[in-house]
Structure 1
Amino acid sequence: MGDDSNSGNNSNKSGASSSVSDNDAFGETKFVWNGDVVLSKKRNSEETLYVNPTVST
């Protein structure tokens, strides 16, 4: 608790995107998930986008 980790395990296996937020003394952190893969994290005015470099052909 109190860190940027997803404190609730989001196990959305349907492939649909979902979001989870976590609050601590420094503010709110929002996570966007696609299934069990985190896509982005937003805290205050900073947003981190996670890109999977694996390309299947």
Structure 2
Amino acid sequence: MAADDLHVTPTGDLIAHDTTGDCPCGPQVERVARDDGPDGWLHIHHSLDGRERKEPQ
């Protein structure tokens, strides 16, 4: 993980999410532009317990 990386992980999931390499959840990665330096990366991890299907749309 680079210094300009930020990981958002679900708590209490079926697995411990890997924030240092390849995570089995296949996180969504978004580039975050910064005015004060190099761009950063936002890694949004997906839960494996299905909670997204239970949340209201």
TM over 0.5: no
* TM-score where L is the length of structure 2: 0.20
Higher strand share: 1
* TM-score where L is the length of structure 1: 0.20
